[in-house]
Structure 1
Amino acid sequence: MKASGLRDQGLTLREKRRLGLFAIAGLFGAPGAWLLQVILSETVSAEGCYSVSKPHAEPALPHLHGWLYGIGILAMLTAILCAAAAVYGFALLAGRERRAKARHVGEGSDPIPWRAREEERRKRFVALCSALIGCGFVVSLLFTGAAGLFVGTCSFWH
């Protein structure tokens, strides 16, 4: 039985593409959501709290805190979806690998060629990195959002 590890796992071209999208979501979607949240929040805060050379006593924009919370919530939802997709991709690969190993436990020799095993390991490594990065940026969005709760809308950061 000379099948590659991916065929042995039953990955179709569509599944490979989907796993690639899951990895991209975790590697770029969650960090992108955090970066956009920081950029937008800082820009909106700067416009609402500062004139050219001196800070305002209170926000110039009505409902500034609502805008900031809204931006944070949208970023958090986006990051959670991206991280969940990345974790799902990793779990899908890990589960298929466990099932493939369980099928070949009784056989004497390893039916999966060396190159196919290396390809599996690379895909699993990328999926793991994607899941960890996605979840890490969800945590960073929690901390960034918590800063808005503890510091006033137009207060100074010391």
Structure 2
Amino acid sequence: MSSTGKQDIAKEHRAPPDRSVSTYRTLLALFGAPTSWVGQMSLSEPLAAYACYPYQVPLPAPLWADLSVILAMISLICLAGGLLSGYVAWNLWRQASPLPGVTGAGEHAFEADGGQTRFLARLGTMSSFVFIVAILFTGCAVLLVPPCSAWI
């Protein structure tokens, strides 16, 4: 078999341009929700700590009256980022999964990479679900725990 024959076979098994998967969408699907949760923790914890314990002396009330609103807004923005990541991952998974009963040239478009796209999309969907739940639970702490309260 000549080298042109091998190139022709490789071209046959590539995904069509209209069904190709963007690397950015895949990265967003995989890392969007975890990054949103880490961002939520990295922003809200230091803010709450400084507002209630600024100079090595605990305060009975936070420095800012709107601390709960600020923390709730951070949680909502991070939840929106996690939900966007989950939506992208879910759409990627649906796109990469073969439709039952459909046959034709585009049926195995995502099989050219050995199922890697489907695996990454499924992993992104599961990861997004877990981190969306984590974002919700972390956000519930803002509603359930009063700021600057003693834990005793």
**Alpha-carbon distance in 2 for matches of 1:74, 1:132:** 20
What's 1:124 paired with?
Answer: 118
Mapping of residues 62-73 of structure 1, within 5 Å? 62-73=65-76
- TM-superposed deviation, 1:136: 1.2
Shift of 1:64: 0.7
Task: Give, in whole Å, the separation in 1 of the partners of 2:81 and 2:27.
Answer: 13
Q: 2:47 aligns with which of 39, 44, 51?
A: 44
Alpha-carbon RMSD: 2.3
Q: Distance in 2 between matches of 1:140 and 1:150?
A: 15
Aligned residues: 138
Are 1:151 and 2:135 counterparts? Answer: no
1:51-62 equivalent positions in 2, closer than 5 A: 51-62=54-65
TM-score by length of 2: 0.79
Q: Normalising by the residue count of structure 1, what TM-score does the alignment of the two structures yield? A: 0.77
Q: CA deviation at 1:123?
A: 1.4
Alignment partners' CA distance in 1, 2:46 and 2:124: 29
Q: Distance in 2 between matches of 1:126 and 1:69?
A: 31
Q: Is 1:16 the equivalent of 2:20?
A: yes
Moved over 4 A (4+): none
2:99 partner letter? R
Q: Which has the higher helix share?
A: 1
- Identify which of 71, 84, 87 aligns with 1:84: 87
Distance 2:150 2:114 in 1: 50
Letter in 1 for 2:96: L
Q: Displacement of 1:65 after TM fit?
A: 0.6
Unmatched tracts of structure 2, length 5 or more: 1-8
Q: Answer yes or no: is 1:102 the counterpart of 2:105.
A: no
Unaligned segments of structure 1, at least 5 residues: 105-111
Cα distance in 2 for partners of 1:117, 1:25 equals 21
Shift of 1:86: 0.8
Matched-pair identity in %: 25
1:26–1:131 contact (8 Å) kept in structure 2: yes
1:103: Cα distance to partner?
Answer: 1.5
Distance in 2 separating the partners of 1:63 and 1:141: 21
Indicate conservation of the 8 Å contact 1:23/1:131, yes or no.
no
